[in-house]
Amino acid sequence: MSMVKRLSLIVAACSVLASTGCAGPIERWIVDTRVHQGEVALARGNVQDAELSYRLALRVDPADQRARAGYVDASAELAQLDYTKGQFDDALSALNEAAKYDPASVRLQGLRATIEEARLKREIVVSNYPTYREAGVTIARAYQQLDVSNRALLTAIQRFSYTYNSDDLTDAIKKSYDLQLDLARNTNRLIAYRQLVESGAPREPGTSEGTSTAGSLLPLP
User: Whole-angstrom Cα distance, residue 4 to residue 6?
Assistant: 5
- CA neighbours closer than 13 Å in the CB half-sphere of residue 40: 7
Q: Are 27 and 4 in contact (CB under 8 A)?
A: no
The tens-digit pLDDT sequence of the chain (221 residues) is: 555 555 555 555 555 444 444 448 889 999 999 999 999 999 999 999 999 999 999 999 999 999 999 999 999 999 999 999 999 999 999 999 999 999 999 999 999 999 999 999 999 999 989 999 999 999 999 999 999 999 999 999 999 999 999 999 999 999 999 999 999 999 999 999 999 999 887 655 554 433 344 333 333 33
User: Whole-angstrom Cα distance, residue 166 to residue 101?
Assistant: 69
Q: Are 124 and 217 in contact (CB under 8 A)?
A: yes
Please give the pLDDT value at position 112.
97
Please give the pLDDT value at position 201.
72
Please give the pLDDT value at position 137.
95
Residue 66 CA: distances (Å) to CA of 31, 75, 167, 183: 9, 14, 67, 52
User: Whole-angstrom Cα distance, residue 107 to residue 211?
Assistant: 41
Please give the pLDDT value at position 141.
96
Please give the pLDDT value at position 108.
97
Q: Are 62 and 46 in contact (CB under 8 A)?
A: no
Question: 178: which DSSP letter?
Answer: H
